[in-house]
Structure formats: C-alpha cells, structure tokens
Amino acid sequence: MNDEDSLDSFRALGLGELSIEALKEKGFTCPTGIQKECIPLLLEKNVDVIGQAQTGTGKTAAYALAILERLDTSSRLTQALVLTPTRELAMQVAQEIRSLKGSRKISVEAVYGGASYETQFKKLQRGIQIIAGTPGRILDHIERGTLDLSHLSFAVLDEADEMLDMGFIDDISAILSHTNEDKRTLLFSATMPQPILSLASRFMKDYEVVRIESDYRQAHLTKQFFCQIKEEDKPELLRRIIDSSSSFYAIVFCRTKLMCDEIGRQLAASGYNADALHGDLSQKQREIILQKMRDHRISILVATDVAARGIDITNLTHVINYTVPDDAETYTHRIGRTGRAGQSGTAITFVTNPEKRRFSYITRVSGCTIEEYRIPTVQEIMEEKRARIIEAVQTQCEEDNTASAAIACRLLEDYEPQQLVSALISLHYKRELDESQYGTIQPVTADKKKKETKKKTFEKEGDDVRLFFAVGRSGKYTKRTLANMIIAQCNVSDSDLNDIQVMDEFSFVNVPSRLADRIISAFKNKGEGGRPLALRARPEARKKAAPFVPHSRKRKANDAFFFFERENWDDYKGRRKKKDRQAKGAGKRKKR
C-alpha cells in the first residue's frame, strides 16, 4: 500500500487536503482508534465529546485535526483553548498542533507558568488563535485582562483525570466561567472515574462518550516483567539490564526526588548517559534535559511520576519501575510510554518484599500478563558486549579508513595482527570488558523480621515516616490541598512530602523522620474537638494502605485501626461513636 492509499483512511474521516498533507509530512499512515471515532464526530455533529484513551494513543491529533478544520483563519481572536495539567504537556500539545496545521496561517502557542510574562503579553496582544496552557497561568492572564476567551469555538480539557487529581478543579471552573456558552467542550482522559462524569455534567451540554478500551487495557506491544529484588541490589540489577540491551533508551521511574538524584548520579558516575528529572528543577533545566533526551544526547531519564506526567518521548525501548507504583492507573501510564506506534517495548518492575502485596493488586487490576524477569548473568552480559564490539569493528572496516592506514602499516611492521587488534580493543573497551565491575545479586527470601522491630525498621528505611491525617475526600481535600496545608502550617517544602494518598475519611503522607515530630506537633489540637489531626502511622500502614483497595467506595471507620498507632485507637474509636450518635440524633429531630 502506497502513502496515498493509506492516507485515504484519513480522508474518509472528513479531513481536508491541507490536513492530509500535514499527516503525510509527519509520516502518519492510518488513524488510531480514538481518531477514527472522534474526528467524524467533531466534524459532522455539533456535540460535546468525552474521549477516554490512554496517553500515547493519538488523542491530541484526534481533537487538533478537527479544530484546525473548523478554525476561522481570518480572525486573530482566540478560538481554541486546550487546558493541560503540566507545562511539559502544554508545550507538547502546542508543538503537535503546529505540526498538524500544515500550510495554514494559524498561530499556536503554549502559555504556562515559569515562562516570561512579558513575552506572553506580547503574543496575546498580537492574537493567538489556539492556546495550550496550564490552568494557573491561564487564569492569571484572565484576571489581568490580557486574555479574552469570549469567542471560543472549542475548550479542551486534556488529561482531565490528572488535572482533577492535582487539585485544578476550582481553576478550571473559574476559567470556563469566562468563556462563551456556544463553544464546544471536549474532555479527554485516560480513565473515567465518577469525578470526570460530574465535571462533564457541570460544564458540558449534550455530549457523547468515546471509549477506546483496547489500547488502554492490552498494552500488547509492551513485554511486561517483574523481578523480586532486595533494595540494596537494585543498582546492580539496573546496570545489568542496561548492559544486556544492545540499544537502551529508557525512563527509570522512582518514588522520590532524592532517589531520582541519587540514581542519576550513580549512572552518570558509571559512564552512562543519564540525567534526573523532578519538580525541584527549574523550568529551563527541565526543558534542556528533555531536549537532550529527544536528541539522544542522553539515553536514560530518571524521573518521578509528577515530573514525567505529560511528557512524550518516542521510541523508548524500556520503562523501568525502580519502585512499584502506587496503583494500577499509574502502572499503566508508566508502561504505556513504550511499545507505541507499532514498535515493541519492555517494562520491568523491581519488587521488594514490602511491595509484594501492592504489586499483586496491580497485576490483578490491570489484567496484564506480567512474567518474572530472569536476571542476566555476568557471563551472558560479557558475551553480548563482545558481540556488539565485533559488530562495531566490522562496520568500521566497511568505512573509508585511509587516514589511519599509514599508522596501521607502521604498527604491523612490529606486531602480529592478532596482538595488534587485541591491544586496540583493550585500549578502547578495557573498562567495558572488565567483569569485576559487576557485583552479586542475593536471592530474595520472605521477610521474617521480628514484629517488635517493625516500627524501628520502617522509620529507618529511606529515612521516611508515614503519617496519618484525619482528613480526606469527604472534607474536599485533594493531594494538592493537603500538601499546601502542611507546607503552610509546618514551614516545610513540597519536596519533603511524598507518597500522598487521600482516602474518603483520612489520608497518608510520607515525610522525612526529622520532620515527623514537628508536623505532628503543629497539628496537635487542629482536629475535631481539639483532637490531634496528624498521627504517626503504624509500620503496617505502608503495606496495608499502599495501595488502598476498598471493597466499596467508602471504608468503614473501624478500618482506620490498621493505619495508625494502637495507643490512639481508643481515642479515635470514641470520637467516631460520638459523631455517629450525633448524626442519629439529628436524624430523629428532623423526622419530628
């Protein structure tokens, strides 16, 4: 099938020739599932659309192509707004739309926090027809009077589940309240939880839902593995995985920023082209690192989930889960970054004993086939390296080597060919062929630590302490609002708060052990009736609460017993009973 025949499938969706030329230039051959469903819907019907599709399935093109077809190129007014949860995704969306506009004279810009206000003011004054931006900066421009959204044709919420999870709902509401009623609202999300549907009922008129389950559930192009490993052996395992691959181009996911920095330093010190990406870096630093990755100047990106959210790097060979993700959704997002566009990929998850329960749950919920990874031996790695060296030398022999021919002739007068080749290989590959650089990996056995030492061991691990907070989703708390409350009350930084989990009635936060007592003291009398709002979680909370797997949407109050220290249980239980009695009494009075 030639290019023109394959592009007929795009023409059949209703796209014009300018779009077809742009798709041809990008090398697209046939539409993805979300594109097949959404493009005709957006072009032929005047309805709002909810699209559910995993990141990397072409949903940006699904709405961008339709917007470009419907845009009034004679007007400089802002006609389309795409809201994204992160700066990186805003830039990525803007870049993708530019590549799809073809020869159309349409202005497309990313508007996000951390960039120059002055530059954005000038561009907005000239007129931007399509804006991709983050909620905070978009709302800021609206309040300053530098952005007018009263002439929109399309408002798009991209990665809507991520924006809700990051606490952007109020900003989104405020932004949409400044838009015209006759616009069309498009909502795209990798998952479809109830808050997404509630958002749709608030801001969308007659809408149709497009669900692409196959791309999300199957991940059929990604081979998935897990490896049971001790925490101290993870660096050695990572090194072996890298060295056993002929072309390793990957993202390594970690739980914390400190871990990112440490692994990035270890890899760089060992001679690998690696760098770390996390929230403590400036926007400029992040952009430089991402561009290096895209240009293949670095081949390994060590990142946290938050920092990697929304970035799109193509042709990744591997995704390494250095730590087990918190839930199945995060796992699917991570592994979905490889095995795209018809290319195969490999995802390997490192699983320690404390993470086994969480990983078992993820395996069950995701419905994926995850095989056990066989750790390559040092001998196998060395054999693979020798094969690569031979291939590299053979390739070089096919090149024009006249510049070095005189040196070769001079050396051959004094040395035998085998001796000479051996010396040159040793000169260039001595370190790579050194078997002593590899350590041993101990087999994993069941964790049989004594119960009385659990708390001490837990607090020592990673210098982290898990705290219980008596607030949750029922009190309108999100990860972002809970973090902001702790930062304001305790004078800590955002980087000190990790693994935040918000449940219906309570929440958990990992903090450095040096800050645990300060935070507990700050919230000592902040709870209901002057009770403590923050308590030290029991050591078992890390296993039982990560992931938090309710049998129903709402946990029973008694289940909280598992998540904080036993001495606080009677106090918590008494408060819950008192609250229940008050609720029953109020109900009886209302009936009278």
CA end-to-end distance (rounded Å), the chain: 77
Q: Are 282 and 114 in contact (CB under 8 A)?
A: yes
- d(CA 380, CA 373) in angstroms, rounded, equals 15
In 3D, which of 64, 18, 57 has the Cα closest to residue 39?
64
Alpha-carbon 329 to chain mean position:
10
For the chain, what are the domain ranges?
A: 3-216, 219-375, 380-398+405-437, 456-581
Pick the CATH number of 219-375 from 3.40.50.980, 3.40.50.300, 1.10.760.10, 3.40.1190.20: 3.40.50.300
- d(CA 138, CA 402) in angstroms, rounded, equals 60
Residue 316 neighbours by CB distance under 10 Å: 23
Residue 56's pLDDT is 61
Residue 108's pLDDT is 96
Question: What is the three-state SS of 457-473?
Answer: HHHHHHHEEEEEECCCH
Cα 122 to Cα 94, 146, 395: the distances in Å are 18, 10, 52
- Counting Cα atoms < 13 Å in the Cβ hemisphere of 275 gives 18
Residues in the chain: 592
In 3D, which of 233, 582, 242 has the Cα closest to residue 442?
233
Fold agreement between 219-375 and 456-581: no
Residue 555's pLDDT is 38
Supply φ then ψ for residue 141, to 5 degrees: -65, -35
- d(CA 251, CA 303) in angstroms, rounded, equals 7
Q: What is the mean pLDDT of each run of 10 residues along the chain (592 residues)?
A: 63 91 81 90 91 76 94 94 88 90 93 90 95 95 95 93 82 93 90 78 86 55 90 92 90 89 90 89 86 92 78 85 82 78 82 86 76 91 85 80 81 82 79 79 64 42 75 87 84 78 88 86 80 77 41 38 42 55 59 51
Q: Are 55 and 31 in contact (CB under 8 A)?
A: no
Residue 457's pLDDT is 40
CATH number of 456-581: 3.30.70.330
Place of tokens 């390994």: 300
Please tell me whether residue 555 adopts helix, strand or coil conformation: coil
Alpha-carbon 183 to chain mean position:
30
Cα R_g (the chain), whole angstroms? 28
Residue 338's pLDDT is 81
Please tell me whether residue 133 adopts helix, strand or coil conformation: strand
CATH number of 3-216: 3.40.50.300
Q: Are 61 and 35 in contact (CB under 8 A)?
A: yes
Tokens of 399: 């090149």
- d(CA 336, CA 57) in angstroms, rounded, equals 9
> What are residue 319's DSSP bridge partners?
251, 347
Alpha-carbon 428 to chain mean position:
38
